[in-house]
Amino acid sequence: MSEQESKGNEHVHTDFKERMTYGEYLGLDQLLSAQKRLSDHHDEMLFIIIHQVSELWMKLILHELWAAVESIRKGEMQEAFKMLSRVSNIQTQIIHGWDVLSTLTPAEYIQFRDKLGQASGFQSYQYRMVEFALGYKTPHVLKIYEKDPELHHQLKEAYESPSIYDAAIEKLMEAGFSINPQLLERDYTKVYEADPSVEAAWAKVYKNVDDYWDLYQLAEKLVDIEDWLQQWRFRHMKTVERIIGHKVGTGGSSGVGYLKKVLDHRFFPELWEVRTKI
């Protein structure tokens, strides 16, 4: 180390016998030892890390989404907007992950694919919980995790809870819009379907932005999140197609066929329809 560098670092702490280190704070021993390859193939490390990183980002997405729902219900809209903006930025990071994974070629992946058994990203319970938080409810993941009672309870609770869009619709009603009362008492385990009263309310919001600024911002934050999620789904589908073509997924799904199908789903349908109507 040069004399100049030594001067700049003369107050750096180096005695950690009685203090917590950076690695200890982050639990790096556990985190960095979680990449356990089941084959000797070099590229299995890439495959594991990409998926683990995605799960870490999804943990943060869920942390922000559920907090945003609570903030919206309390009328703390600026706090919710900050959280939802963060979600959108996290989503861009996950999307870039597919660019890295797409460097894996079919010839390389086939060398260790059979080691996965029936394990598949299709079973990602955090991804399903993100969908639940956005209002897309599918029950198959509940069956998958019946073997883990605590996790199954968490999934069931999220499955039965209102989504962030349900919270947004409640805010429309609170603002004086005439909302179909059945929406406020609906079965939250069902996938949300578009309603004319909600579309009419959003249309008025978009035509009178100054009068409904908070609702307008909320609408745009939700559109951002759905837009990025669909881009994530598209990159997922194209990466899978690039690596395994149209093979059946390791978890038994139709692979690319399934991933193409979910691209047609809209989480917040009226927010997209209103763009044509206004």
Binding site residues, as ranges?
47-51, 109, 113, 236, 250
Binding site residues for heme, as ranges?
236
Total Cβ atoms within 10 A of residue 193 = 8
> Could you say which DSSP state residue 269 is in?
H
CA distance 80 to 69: 7
CA distance 232 to 131: 13
Contact 216, 78 (CB under 8 A): no
Nearby residues of 247 by Cβ (< 8 Å), 6 or more positions away: 255
Total Cβ atoms within 10 A of residue 89 = 10
User: Token pair of 212, please?
Assistant: 């409904």
Name residue 94's amino acid.
Answer: I
CA distance 245 to 25: 42
Total Cβ atoms within 10 A of residue 49 = 15
In degrees, to the nearest 5, what angle opens at C-alpha 224 toward C-alphas 195 and 228? 110
User: Token pair of 233, please?
Assistant: 């789904």
Binding site residues for substrate, as ranges?
47-51, 109, 113, 250
Kind plus residue range of the DSSP H or E element containing 41: none
Unique residue bearing structure tokens 């609170």:
174
CA distance 123 to 117: 13
